[in-house]
Amino acid sequence: MRRRMESGDKWFSLEFFPPRTAQGAVNLISRFDQMGAGGPLFIDVTWHPAGDPGSDKETSSMAIASAAVNYCGLETVLHLTCCRQSQEEITGHLHKAKQLGLKNILALRGDPVGDQWEEEEGCFRYATDLVKLIRSEFGDYFDICVAGYPKGHPDAESFEDDLKHLKGKVSAGADFIITQLFFEADTFFHFVKACSAIGITCPILPGIFPIQGYHSLRQLVKLSKLEVPQKIRDVIEPIKDNDAAICNYGIDQAVSLCQELLASGLVPGLHFYTLNRRMATTEVLKRLGMWAEDPRRPLPWAVSAHPKRREEDVRPIFWASRPKSYIYRTQDWDEFPNGRWGHSSSPAFGELKDYYLFYLTSKAPREELLKMWGEELTSEESVFEVFVHYLSGEPNQSGCTAYLEFFTSRETVGALLQVLKKYEQRVNYHIVDVKGENITNAPELQPNAVTWGIFPGREIIQPTVVDPVSFMFWKDEAFALWVKQWGKLYDEESPSRMIIQYIHDNYFLVNLVDNEFPLDNCLWQVVEDTFELLNRPGARADRLRDPAP
């Protein structure tokens, strides 16, 4: 992150605060994915009364920041306050942050519990003390940010006195500064000039707040002890009851401010106070030309920002559409697969644990899910139609797909195995039911590459594989989706619930890998041949009696 700051490129960052409820946390993680697509250099997560930064609660600052790093692949700065906390407590927070893969801290004093400061013996009181502690205990592991106040901290004796405190934080080891929000470019320019005059030379990032509503502006100004310039108040007062008009004005005002800041050549980037909202900040960035409309990924998944996972370049393909689930299951691994994938039975890879994480489960309203999956199911064919609608027509048979995964009946499995005899030297398969009965022709414990790529100056990479050990754990999750998500939408004794339960109990999960990459893929032909065999007169009875090859 520090190198990008000093590169001369223009970039932006985003600030969020932890919500108060688990549902709010679910929504915020989704917002991280949406806004992460625009290409921020980093996000930061504030401390909030929803939870202490060291708490294990799902709404704590530490939990939200960890989710951003590990599950959304976002470089993340964790706010950490030090007032009324002992050195031992703060060091514990920092060790936990490091364990979770967080590498950036915004060191803050924090606010007093009441209206007045009550100094406690053995507790920290100033952000400078926190910066010194981080550097003495953790060296250069953390990049440290501190707060700057363009008009001086409201508790400081004077603007000059506040600058001396800021210089002390930088001298103690801070790498860069993020300012409190402001509304006029001259305010920032004056602040930067004053910082330079006192010997502060680190990057100073301006804090931008797109005005989004009259009441949110008043609340934020009250908390920040700031004054809104008269020319802005003259515009918003007449339209204070029109949120859309105020938001549009706020976007225009923020764009104009950012353009003036960027044109000055004094700012390395822009830091946005989002209030956990998407529209206004996204629109400002798009108008500035800073929003990445087409982000490029080096791998089929978003690369984790956790230092331990950054070099990970292999994952099982059956978790491709559920990357957060895979990360959660493998979070305690000592190392991660790379282009020289070995056996996943290696003790270095650890154990794939039972799946559960609060913000990875579906939180869509029941009515919305019923609309998607069907108000009522009358037969297995009703289920098939849901999949057909999802695929939106015939699958593309002209591509080079080397992997196919699906659920199917025991009857179809019998026909499929007959067909696969013809492709025994070309197609590897795993066929498993909910009880773990596994039919395969793949070598035991040997991963099988599904995708590969050639890049200048490096060996061939194989980013996605079918791994037989991981597949058996994925099987549990895949079958659970039937009854724990879809089936639960219906009354327990309803025909719809019974149909889903029947599929869960009797169907097989199948994956097929075509190993002849240079040739046109044969998997669709395998499917066609299977259905042709099923439809032959008398074939169905034979398949039901003996599904084995």
Query: Which residues have a catalytic role annotated?
Result: 15
User: Where do we find the tokens 């009259």?
Assistant: 214
CA pair distance 283, 430, nearest whole angstrom: 47
For the chain, how are helix, strand and coil distributed in percent, rounded to 5? Answer: 45, 15, 40
How many CA atoms within 13 Å lie on the side-chain side of 168?
Answer: 12
Q: Which parts of 125-242 fold into alpha helices (H)?
A: 127-138, 159-171, 185-197, 214-224, 230-236
- CA 5/CA 15 separation, integer angstroms: 17
Distance between CA 360 and CA 193 in Å, rounded? Answer: 47
Q: Which of 469, 460, 453, 508 is nearest to 319 (CA)?
A: 469
Residues in the chain: 549
CA distance 223 to 352: 45
The vertex-27 CA angle with 372 and 226, nearest 5°, equals 150
Q: Centre a 10 Å sphere on the Cβ of residue 535 and count the other Cβ atoms it contains.
A: 10
Q: Measured between alpha carbons, how far is 299 from 315 in angstroms, rounded to an integer?
A: 10
Residues in CB range of 241: below 8 A, 6 or more apart: 214
The whole-angstrom separation of Cα 231 and Cα 213 is: 17
- Give the SS3 label for residue 143: strand
87-99 helix and 127-138 helix, angle to the nearest 10 degrees: 60
Alpha-carbon gap, residue 333 to 311, rounded angstroms: 14
Residue type, 311: E
Tell me the one-letter amino acid at 212: Q
Positive/negative CA dihedral, 419, 421, 422, 424 = positive
Q: CA–CA separation, 466 vs 470, rounded Å?
A: 8
